[in-house]
Amino acid sequence: MKMESPFKADIMKGKVALLTGGGSGIGFEISLQLGKHGASIAIMGRRKTVLDSAVSALHSLGIPAIGLEGDVRKRDDAVKVIESTVKHFGRLDILVNAAAGNFLVPAEDLSPNGFRTVIDIDSVGTFTMCREALKYLKKGGPGKELIQWLAHLAAVDSITRSLALEWGTDYDIRVNGIAPGPIGDTAGVSKLAPDEILNKERQHMPLFKLGEKWDIAMAAIYLASDAASSSHPPWMRYRAEKDF
């Protein structure tokens, strides 16, 4: 079933969005929907083939888009990608930290290096991208936005709360987090929950269905658009929008 967006087609017109991990999965759906609603898209990732495929798909729909190779764990890469985005599009309005790493093994089989890799991508990488993007976001007009990919990580949630208070107060930058539950047609669900488990779990879901990537993308559009603006202080907006 084709779902209709609840937002105006040009609600993101004139905005430039940079998405880490925006070339596949939920991240790509956010890239796609931001682009369909008028934004120019820059996607950061480590795999050139994935970037090329994502950018080609966006171009086929008339969406201005570029792919930039880089690893969020490396500050030099973060700086290079952010500067390249601004050089190409002239500005940066939205940063979506959708890059995430995980190892699908029991904790007792996860090596310290493996654990450190997850933390470096999900937590350190998120903070690094935010910090390096700040000087450009500060220059922007209304609607400057950071969206973190919480994925139930306490460290990223803490970063999001702190930046929402500090940067919301000092620079009027909205900082929000999205923490999806099980989302259909994603690698996380297919690897972590076989069909027989999902079919059983659906019986306990109010709508008897999983969430969809489109649902998360619509939440991201809401948070990144003027629809999320209000007269409340930034830290109050964070609380309300996080619960949206």
Consecutive sets of 10 residues in the chain, 244 residues long: mean pLDDT of each?
Answer: 85 96 93 97 96 98 98 97 97 93 82 91 93 91 72 79 92 90 67 61 65 90 83 44 42
pLDDT confidence of residue 181: 72
pLDDT confidence of residue 53: 97
Task: Kindly report the backbone phi and psi dihedral angles of residue 28, in degrees, each rounded to the nearest multiple of 5, phi listed first.
Answer: -70, -35
- Domain extent, residue 104, equals 16-179+213-242
Strands 16-20 and 40-45: parallel
Contact 54, 31 (CB under 8 A): yes
Pure H helices in the chain: 25-36, 48-59, 75-89, 112-119, 125-137, 154-171, 187-192, 195-202, 213-224, 234-242
Kindly state whether residues 165 and 202 are assigned to the same domain: no
DSSP sequence for 9-39: TTTTTT-EEEEETTTSHHHHHHHHHHHHTT-
Kindly state whether residues 170 and 69 are assigned to the same domain: yes
Kindly state whether residues 189 and 124 are assigned to the same domain: no
**SS3 (DSSP) at 85:** helix
> What Å distances lie between residue 120 and 42, 99, 128, 130, 156, CA to CA?
22, 11, 10, 14, 11
pLDDT confidence of residue 231: 42
pTM for the whole structure: 0.85
Kindly state whether residues 102 and 223 are assigned to the same domain: yes
Count: domains in the chain: 2
Kindly state whether residues 75 and 115 are assigned to the same domain: yes
Is 116 domain-assigned? yes
